[in-house]
Amino acid sequence: MKIRNIQTAMAAAVCVTLGLAGCAASSKETASTAPAVASKPLPSGTVGEKAVSATATVKAIDQKTRMVTLRRADGSQFTFRAGDEVRNLPQVKVGDTVTVTYYESLAYEVKKPGQGAPGAAMAEQVGRAPAGDKPGIAGARVATVTTTIAAIDKAAGTVTLRGPEGNAETIKVRYPEKLNQVSVGDLVEITYTEALGVAVEEATKK
């Protein structure tokens, strides 16, 4: 399971924070309006979420090289190498059914200064099937990036976010009215979650 690097995650995430339409990198901050006192709750929520589950049948397996070929329901095939984190691979046989579940979400929360600090963090957790059980693996990665609202231009409908390393992104917002709910200096905490689960079932009986 591969996750984008922290800076790429931040650049992609700010495109959807506050309902944004598009991004344009900028080395200069736009002229900001005077910070306004938010009269409404600060924006937050999940702006993207999906879960996909699929099954495939083991078509071929090489225990020595750990290469496994799977056949999808539509007849297409793909081959991959089962990493060392996949325990009990010798138990996998041709005809076994593999269930793969993938989940990802993108959430954001605007905070006032003092409720957090700019920065980036990555958390990862991997679980494996106990020795003796059918092979299986489950893992999750959570990337959190906290940026600062450096400038707001209500006339242009843009907001400039400064990343943890000082880089700035100026964004054209999709819903300009949401700019009334935030102020220069507010923090935008963006959380990207990715999870993957793989389970092997008993061989199909004929």
pLDDT at 131: 64
**What does the block give as tokens for 170?**
């100026």
Greater confidence, 139 or 69?
A: 69
> Domain boundaries in the chain?
6-200
Amino acid type, 6: I
**What does the block give as tokens for 90?**
């010798």
Instruction: Dump pLDDT digits (tens) for 168-184.
Output: 989 887 778 888 889 99
β-pairing, 44-62 vs 77-81, is unpaired
Interatomic CA distance for residues 36 and 58, integer angstroms: 60
Report percent pLDDT > 90 for the chain: 17
- HEC string for 91-102: HCCCCCEEEEEE
* pLDDT averaged over every residue in the chain: 74
Output the furthest CA–CA distance in the chain (Å, rounded): 73
pLDDT at 153: 94
Interatomic CA distance for residues 182 and 176, integer angstroms: 11
β-pairing, 20-25 vs 77-81, is unpaired
Instruction: Dump pLDDT digits (tens) for 106-155.
Output: 888 899 999 989 999 988 776 666 666 665 666 788 999 999 999 999 99
Compute the average pLDDT of residues 156-172. 89
